[in-house]
Amino acid sequence: MPVVDVDPDELRYLTGHEEKDDDELKSDLFDLGLEFEGWTEDDEFQLEFAPDRLDRLSVEGVARSLRYHYGDDRGVYVPSTNSAEWTIHVEDQPEGRPYVTGAVVRGLDLSDGALESLIQLQEKLHATMGRKRAKGAIGVHDLTMLKGTDLRPTDGQSSSLDLTGGQDPTEASEEPQDEMVGDAAVEPVGTNAITYTGADPDDASFVPLESDAEMTPSEVIEHHDTGQKYGDLVADYDRVPAIYDAIGLFSFPPVINGRRTEVAEDSRDLFIELTGTDQWTIDHMCNIICYALEARGGTIERVDVEYADDANGEYAGKTLERPDFGTRTKTVTLDRIESLLGVDLHPRDVIDYAERAGLTATERTVDEGTVFDVEIPPYRVDVIHPLDIVDDIGRALGFNSLEPTYPDVSTVGGRHERSVLEDAARDTLVGLGFEDLLNFHMTNEAENFERMNLPEPGDATDANDSLVGLADPVTIQEPYSEDYTVLRTWALPSLMMVLENNTHRRYPQDLAEIGLAAGLDDSQNTGVSEHRTVAAALARTDASYEDAKARLQAIAEAFGKDLETPATDHPSFIDGRAADIVLDGKTVGVIGEVHPKVLVEHDLELPVAAFEFRLDALE
């Protein structure tokens, strides 16, 4: 859970409630879902909160929530913005990090802890929404230290942008064409520009933060502390991300900024740029920062993000106007709000509670009853479902004020039969000497199939399409890691991986797991068939089929099942040393001695006997 440090005196100042003592603040914060964890060495609150409310990663965001809670602010607030005077020109940027956004904030006072709060917000956003800068990274610069290239056409001439700020007055300009801002066309205006592009890591140079020496990006990655920490994010790029102004390189995202534009307490005007792998993510990170700085008295100024026609990414040839303070709308019914909260509410009360949660609700009547169209502010990235709206309304109402009641049902709660069965099977396995494991349900195709000597489902023939473990896997559309791309179709590969990682441990190693296995199944309404599976493996010098069957026989007898083991063929097991597991006449699994190819693939030098079957076969 994220933890943010908040100065209670600053919180009182930003909320306008100087009369609140520390205990009252803690109580009010708890009502919002922020728990007091303790004090810092500087006598600041340490507050823990749900990771979905990223707008509360700073004292400004926490103060905003409190002002709504107190009723001082109501409804959705969207800051006013001034017209763009700066453009971020995007061309030839790295394919792996094609997106950029930004904003200008003027008239700030960064003294008295404001700068520290900004730095904390920046780093917390990096760690959470930015995925340790991999998905999004923030650069904050002193605007007065930037020198933009003037793009204003003059006397029929066209300003040609380059990375040194030079202009070519000899090229005639055609009639300026309309440029796209989102889906609308606007006339180009005279602005200053910086460029987001790719740079040769061994050629470009600048003086990074916390350094006095001019360095290339390659030298930063190799010698600078921050470069060593984040350099892996761009280590595979032929051309690294770079941002230039008319003077030269001043930002090497997502690694480090240049010293020239370093922000200090006396900085008044800031240029904020964000780069990343997803435009939506960095746009919303930018919104959170802009709202925090606007709360400090800053004035937000728009920035045009101009993607060249041949720029990488989906926005090639478009100009985006940022920050994007557009709001979203979700619809929720009065019946659903009342049923989830367990209270009767008048529509006026729903609107009131929504406004106290920083939302704006509009009532309308349809055939099904009363519904509310709820407007969501641009800094809220957590509202993705009507249930999130109900949660906000409940917090504004006050969960502590709800009267607890017993459910109007005649049944008594108890453990699910499957859970009882699973515990009984687990106790039996442990009694037979197995060590109980809990592995990840996610794996990858190579571990699930190839390393187990199984064919891929698409390569399977009719003769082996019923093999244990051979099912079309549930594939993750956008996996976080190449190690976890599918849900496992059987559990034995997980046990083999554990054995592979523990060859330095003493033998024998008798391992077992009861866990989830899944596969695609068009007959299910979800398209996925899930089941609990029992897998066990014996790794020892004398491991044999007979050893595994003796333990399997004990399990069958413990649950009153008739066991048969007719011979079968399975690529993961040795021919002639494998059999189907048949309980009460139904084939439910496989048992055998693991094939030498599988042992070699997992660097195992001892024989392994194993079995796997469906848990529900023991019912």
Bigger pLDDT: 190 vs 487? 487
Query: Residue 151's pLDDT is what?
Result: 56
Domains in the chain with CATH codes? 3-70 (3.30.56.10), 81-322 (3.50.40.10), 328-401 (3.30.56.10), 417-618 (3.30.930.10)
- Answer whether 446's CB lies under 8 Å from 596's CB: no
Query: Residue 464's pLDDT is what?
Result: 61
Q: What is the pLDDT of residues 350-383, one digit of tens each?
A: 999 999 999 999 999 998 889 999 999 999 999 9
Tell me what the mean pLDDT of segment 268-289 comes to: 96
- 3-class SS of residue 516: strand
- 3-class SS of residue 10: helix
Q: List 529's β-bridge partners, or say none.
A: 519
Counting beta carbons within 10 angstroms of the beta carbon of residue 449, is it exposed (0 to 12), middle (13 to 18) or buried (19 or more)? buried
**Phi and psi torsions of 319, nearest 5°:** -115, 125
Name the DSSP letter for residue 408. S
Name the DSSP letter for residue 215. B
Q: What is the pLDDT of residues 189-247, one digit of tens each?
A: 446 999 999 999 999 999 999 999 999 999 999 999 999 999 999 988 999 999 999 99
CA–CA distance, 377 with 330 (Å, rounded to integer): 11
Q: What is the pLDDT of residues 121-144, one digit of tens each?
A: 999 999 999 999 999 999 999 999
Categorize the per-residue pLDDT at 52 as very low, low, confident or very high, splitting at 50, 70 and 90: confident
Tell me what the mean pLDDT of segment 41-67 comes to: 90
Tell me what the mean pLDDT of segment 277-281 comes to: 95
Reported pTM: 0.66
- Answer whether 438's CB lies under 8 Å from 513's CB: yes
Query: Residue 287's pLDDT is what?
Result: 97
Query: Residue 175's pLDDT is what?
Result: 37
Counting beta carbons within 10 angstroms of the beta carbon of residue 344, is it exposed (0 to 12), middle (13 to 18) or buried (19 or more)? exposed
Residue 174: Cβ within 10 Å count: 7
- Answer whether 502's CB lies under 8 Å from 509's CB: yes
Q: What is the pLDDT of residues 515-571, one digit of tens each?
A: 999 999 988 888 999 999 999 999 999 999 999 999 999 999 999 999 999 999 999
Query: Residue 171's pLDDT is what?
Result: 38
Q: What is the mean pLDDT of the chain?
A: 89
Token reading at 360: 């704006």
User: DSSP characters for 237-284?
Assistant: -SSEEEEE-SS-EEEETTTEEBGGG---TT---EEEEEEES-HHHHHH
Tell me what the mean pLDDT of segment 463-492 comes to: 87
Query: Residue 182's pLDDT is what?
Result: 37
Whole-number percent of the chain with pLDDT over 90? 78
Pairing of strands 35-39, 45-48: antiparallel
Token reading at 379: 């800094």
Distances from the Cα of 574 to the Cα of 169, 193, 321, 599, angstroms:
78, 68, 64, 11
pLDDT for residue 59 is more than 60? yes
CA–CA distance, 348 with 581 (Å, rounded to integer): 64
Whole-number percent of the chain with pLDDT over 70? 92
Residues across the chain: 619
Bigger pLDDT: 190 vs 20? 20
- Answer whether 136's CB lies under 8 Å from 130's CB: yes
Which amino acid is located at 384 in the chain? Answer: I
Q: What is the pLDDT of residues 374-407, one digit of tens each?
A: 999 999 999 989 999 999 999 999 888 888 877 7
First to last CA, the chain: 39
Q: What is the pLDDT of residues 429-461, one digit of tens each?
A: 999 999 999 999 999 999 999 999 998 887 755
Counting beta carbons within 10 angstroms of the beta carbon of residue 567, is it exposed (0 to 12), middle (13 to 18) or buried (19 or more)? exposed
pLDDT for residue 179 is more than 50? no
Long-range contacts of 401-405 (CB under 8 A, 24+ apart): 402/341, 402/342, 402/343, 405/342
